Structure 1
Amino acid sequence: MTRNPAPYKSTPVFNEDSLPSALQAAHSTKAGAWGVLEVLDGSLRYVIEESGDSRLMVTGDLQLIEPQQLHHVELTGPMQMQVHFYREKPDVGG
């Protein structure tokens, strides 16, 4: 049985008013840093820059963010979200 690693860092909980503009523009995690975007309430859109693929995320959804993968989020209305950072790939299911 594989155990999920514990995050080494998590962002504050952001809402539609406190979401930093840097997260709404293309950005990436550093080399070796995996992220997990968690939607705590509401919805938002997660976009991968290179492919243009996007996903509408709703309350309870998790999105794996690969190291150094350019991405951004787009507001779709009221929401609360948080990002957790890991040194090894976590299992987010799905």
Structure 2
Amino acid sequence: MKVLPEDVRPYKRTPVFTEEMVPPGLLRQHTTKEGAWAKIVVLEGRLLYRILAPEVNEILLTPDQCGVVEPQVPHEVSPDGAVRFFVEFHRVPGE
């Protein structure tokens, strides 16, 4: 599993989403902006995190396992039953 680089800092966070209110854009292929990393934090339940390039990699996220999104790497998520999660965006300060 990828880890956030040591030099990035959080700059924005989404509201908490549930399986019933996940924004449609998160359920299909999308990317972060150039230079933007993201950390997917599951508070309750399970969320399937699918990295789509350079090869497909599926990771089941739980409260004990966060997901790390690299800048501009296509990915999507899918709830695995009841879930509560948020996404925290990170970047290098000053960029």
Identity in percent = 37
The one-character-per-residue Cα deviations of 1:52-90 (angstroms, maximum 9, x if unpaired) are 1101111232111100010000111000010001113xx
Q: Which residue of 1 aligns with 2:23?
A: 20
TM-score by length of 2: 0.84
Q: Which residue of 1 aligns with 2:66?
A: 62
Q: Would you identify which runs of 4 or more consecutive aligned residues in structure 1 move more than 6 Å?
A: none
Secondary structure class of the residue paired with 2:46:
strand
The one-character-per-residue Cα deviations of 1:25-61 (angstroms, maximum 9, x if unpaired) are 0001000001000011000100011211101111232
Secondary structure class of the residue paired with 2:10:
coil
Q: Which residue of 2 aligns with 1:53?
A: 57
Aligned pair 1:9/2:25, yes or no?
A: no
* Structure 2: gaps (5+ residues): 1-5
* Structure 1: gaps (5+ residues): 89-94
Q: In structure 2, what is the Cα distance between the partners aligned to 1:74 and 1:41?
A: 14
